[in-house]
Amino acid sequence: MQSFRTELENPIVEKDIIELEKKIRMFREGELHEEKFRSLRLARGVYGQRQPGVQMVRIKLPYGKVTTKQLERISDVSDNFATGNLHITTRQDIQLHFVSLERTPELWAELEKDSVTLREACGNTVRNVTASSMAGVDPNEPFDVTPYAHAFFEYLLRNPICQDMGRKFKIAFSSSEKDTGYAFIHDLGFVPKIKIENGKEVRGFKIMFGGGLGSQPHLAEVASEFVHEDHIIPFAESIIRVFDRYGERAKRNKARMKYLIQEMGRETLLELAEKERLALKSKVYKIDRSVGADFALPAGTVPILEISNPLKYEQWLKTNIYPQKQEGFVSVGVRIQNGDIKTPVARKVIAIVREVAADDIRLTNNQGMMLRFVKHESLPYLFEKLNELGLATPGFESVADITSCPGTDTCNLGISNSTGITRELEKVLHQEYPDLIYNKDITIKISGCINACGQHAMAAIGFHGSSMKIGALVAPALQVLLGGGPTGDGHGVASEKIVKVPSKRGPEVLRTVLADYQQNALEGELFNQYYTRQGKIYFYDLLHPLATHDNITPDDFIDWEQTEAYKPAIGIGECASVMIDLIATLLLEAEEKLQNADSSFAAGEYSDAIYYAYTGFIHSAKALLVSEDKKTNTQAGIVKDFEEYFVASGKIKLDVSFPELVYQLNTQEPGREFAEYYVNQSKLFNQQLTAYRNAQLTTQ
């Protein structure tokens, strides 16, 4: 570690990396409980793989933006620490696979040299803030949402309100009412709006909340039709604080924002959020609108090249080129199959971008790349250069551009192969339905399991990995879903489950659905309109023959691109950390929160100090509740139950009730005097509970 610690200019980042190295050592030496360590490493982007002994590292790239220098750095890191492959995710991150745990601190330090972070890319945190890849150049946008997405990223990174929530929390910005950022499936989704007040334009956002996919999709509800741009971060902080306090923590499958809204109702949740406002760090938060406007454009001109494949070039122009609102420029979509790009190819893309586009690559939520600010006259050269790399395939974001997660290639939760079936379906589309490269109405998305990392639950045609018993054997299977997608302005439709088929019949499912649509759709009828008109039963009857066990062959028991018979094997998922039930660990965690509180107080960050002290109260109280085998499902429940079992019973003496003591954080402005008092109260409480626990142990 010493060889790279002093190379980092940011002391906060350096401290983070040193802490990770220290905790890895403690874990290896048996001094740190596995679940506590899991929580820590997940919050730093280090995720256990399906293959034992190696890690997936997720790189957090806010709103998918990556500069050529950053992409070069990521490529170098992949070569030195991973496999030389970059995997682009549906959340506009990049993942590296097969990384040694011991090398993750050094890997992180290398990335930070070009301001690339792993922090809060996984775990019970606010994940990567995503946005429409055309943000800033979209002709339909009221204004550029890039500065707002960036402000959220900066404000929430390392923010104590979202370091150890009950589950992950996802935020997205769409550039326009078309909702290409998918606001409708996020915990918080933002759609830009403009109002005219006193003859002046006022910027704001329609805010959706409580959306999510997973095994039980829930479409986001309207939180507000219009929130002024200066108030969106305070509003979001209030919502996150409520989620942190009242969200489920013990039952992981119920620990998302959507379930909290279902449980307490929209109005109650918004009322609780309003009560948080007094305690907020900022009641008004001004966004720096200049963020995102400082990229470099290439100088000079590029050679005029003869087009080697005129037909492909014309198709590419029609399907992969997007006019910008800036006159004379276009954006160019680059299809990347399965989101996987090898580092030698990535470096050649970097060289091309430096010649013809802005130094502002945007990774897309369909696992591609968007090159921006390309001049019309540069398109022939760009096509030829991309074509040499196999990256000029027409049909960007069309039916033929299928989204898929890694599935059983690397993921613990993968049930069946998602990457192989993706390649097979794209082959079918290319060979049998070549004209569908022009169709951007139908989306096809595939996940390796029910958890929807491939976004199958919002696809016009979706598949998720499954298995099915056929006789005494088990075959890989695909659950078929139809009819989902955004409907605009923050709203959408979830796909409906139709039927489960053996995986090897996936191509025939696709042929059957497309043929039926082509033959029976009304003039101008879009696919989802056709699906709605015909109804779920119609498609069940259509596809049921493919779901029967008739004509099963030995090949049906072998998954795509595999050679051995299928064996269902699911590991322990790490999409968020498992709760820690060790009493000593909880008391230690409380002490660590209080150390953070002291650091924040010393830096004058009084709101952060108060929130760290609040979590110190919670962890301390939880420790004693666990010692009595009491439930600790929510923070609010911990406060209530601690009062009942320990304070009201006289086991713990407090001057006021525990709720009165803890909830002072919402009754006072977060100034120096109150912060000092509140932090000291949390320290005294932790000391009192530690002494109580030690006394318990001596009498056992």
Phi/psi-derived region of residue 43, left when phi > 0, alpha when psi is between -120 and 50, beta in every other case: alpha
Same domain (yes/no): 135, 268: yes
User: What tokens appear for 547 in the block?
Assistant: 């779901």
Which structural domain range is residue 409 located in? 403-557
Residue 160, C-beta contacts closer than 8 angstroms, at least 6 positions apart: 596, 600, 608, 611, 612, 615
Q: Can you point out the beta strands (E) in 385-519?
A: 403-404, 444-447, 461-470, 473-482, 485-488, 491-493, 496-502
Same domain (yes/no): 422, 536: yes
Identify the DSSP state of 522. Answer: P
User: What tokens appear for 571 in the block?
Assistant: 């590991």
Q: What is the mean pLDDT of residues 481-493?
A: 97
Closest CA to 97 of 83, 109, 107: 83
φ/ψ of 526, rounded to 5, equals -75, 160
Residue 223, C-beta contacts closer than 8 angstroms, at least 6 positions apart: 188, 207, 208, 209, 235, 239, 266, 270
Total Cβ atoms within 10 A of residue 540: 16
Give the pLDDT confidence of 272-305 residue by residue, as tens digits.
999 999 999 999 999 999 998 888 888 888 998 9
Same domain (yes/no): 407, 553: yes
Same domain (yes/no): 432, 522: yes
Same domain (yes/no): 509, 650: no
More confident residue, 589 or 54: 54
Give the pLDDT confidence of 78-132 residue by residue, as tens digits.
999 999 999 999 999 999 999 999 999 999 999 999 999 999 999 999 999 999 9
pLDDT at 40: 82
Phi/psi-derived region of residue 122, left when phi > 0, alpha when psi is between -120 and 50, beta in every other case: beta
**What does DSSP say about strands 444-447 and 403-404: parallel, antiparallel, or unpaired?**
parallel
Identify whether 550 is part of a domain: yes
CA 692 to chain centre: 41
The amino acid occupying position 277 is R
pLDDT at 6: 45
The amino acid occupying position 203 is R
pLDDT at position 140 over 70: yes
Same domain (yes/no): 380, 449: no
Query: What CATH number should be reported for the domain holding residue 637?
Result: 1.20.120.330
pLDDT at position 582 over 70: no
Phi/psi-derived region of residue 442, left when phi > 0, alpha when psi is between -120 and 50, beta in every other case: beta
pLDDT at position 549 over 80: yes
Identify whether 493 is part of a domain: yes
pLDDT at 38: 81
pLDDT at position 387 over 90: yes
Q: What is the mean pLDDT of residues 627-653?
A: 94
Task: Report the Cα–Cα distance between both ends of the chain, in Å, rounded.
Answer: 43
Q: What is the mean pLDDT of residues 7-23?
A: 86
The rounded distance, in Å, linking the Cα atoms of 428 and 200 is 53
Identify whether 40 is part of a domain: yes
The amino acid occupying position 549 is H
Identify whether 613 is part of a domain: yes
Closest CA to 573 of 454, 685, 449: 449
Identify whether 465 is part of a domain: yes
Same domain (yes/no): 138, 263: yes
Closest CA to 361 of 349, 343, 375, 376: 349
Same domain (yes/no): 90, 136: no
pLDDT at 352: 97
pLDDT at 289: 95
The rounded distance, in Å, linking the Cα atoms of 171 and 456 is 19
pLDDT category of residue 162 using cuts at 50, 70 and 90? very high
Q: In what order do the strands lie in the sheet with 130-131?
A: 130-131, 171-173, 188-197, 200-209, 221-228
CA-CA-CA-CA torsion for 78, 83, 88, 91, nearest 10 degrees? -80
pLDDT at 420: 94
pLDDT category of residue 2 using cuts at 50, 70 and 90? very low
Q: Write down which residue in 258, 279, 300 finishes a domain.
A: 279
Q: Can you point out the beta strands (E) in 350-407?
A: 361-363, 369-375, 403-404
Same domain (yes/no): 588, 545: no
The rounded distance, in Å, linking the Cα atoms of 600 and 607 is 8
More confident residue, 420 or 412: 420
Identify whether 674 is part of a domain: yes
| Contact yes or no for 466/477 (Cβ under 8 A) | yes
Same domain (yes/no): 66, 172: no
pLDDT at 42: 86
pLDDT category of residue 576 using cuts at 50, 70 and 90? very low
pLDDT category of residue 572 using cuts at 50, 70 and 90? low
Same domain (yes/no): 202, 268: yes
pLDDT at 571: 54
pLDDT at position 60 over 70: yes
Total Cβ atoms within 10 A of residue 26: 15
Query: What CATH number should be reported for the domain holding residue 429?
Result: 3.30.413.10
3-state secondary structure 242-284: HHHHHCCCCCHHHCCHHHHHHHHCHHHHHHHHHHCHHHCCCCC
Identify whether 433 is part of a domain: yes
The rounded distance, in Å, linking the Cα atoms of 338 and 361 is 18
| Domain count of the fold of the chain | 5
| Contact yes or no for 134/175 (Cβ under 8 A) | yes
Closest CA to 500 of 547, 463, 462: 547
pLDDT category of residue 588 using cuts at 50, 70 and 90? confident
Closest CA to 593 of 695, 692, 678: 678
pLDDT category of residue 197 using cuts at 50, 70 and 90? very high
Least confident of 21-35, 573-587, 648-662: 573-587
The rounded distance, in Å, linking the Cα atoms of 490 and 455 is 16
pLDDT at position 337 over 50: yes
Helical residues (DSSP H) of 462-526, grouped into ranges: 506-520
Q: What is the mean pLDDT of residues 633-649?
A: 96
The rounded distance, in Å, linking the Cα atoms of 85 and 402 is 19
Query: What CATH number should be reported for the domain holding residue 72?
Result: 3.90.480.20
The rounded distance, in Å, linking the Cα atoms of 134 and 324 is 8
Identify whether 564 is part of a domain: no
Tell me what the pLDDT averaged over the chain comes to: 93
| Top-confidence range, 158-167, 214-223, 385-394 | 385-394
Nearest 5°: the CA angle 414, 416, 418 is: 85
Same domain (yes/no): 175, 266: yes
pLDDT at position 252 over 90: no
**Three-class secondary structure of residue 187 per DSSP:** coil
pTM, two decimal places? 0.94
Rg (CA), the chain: 26
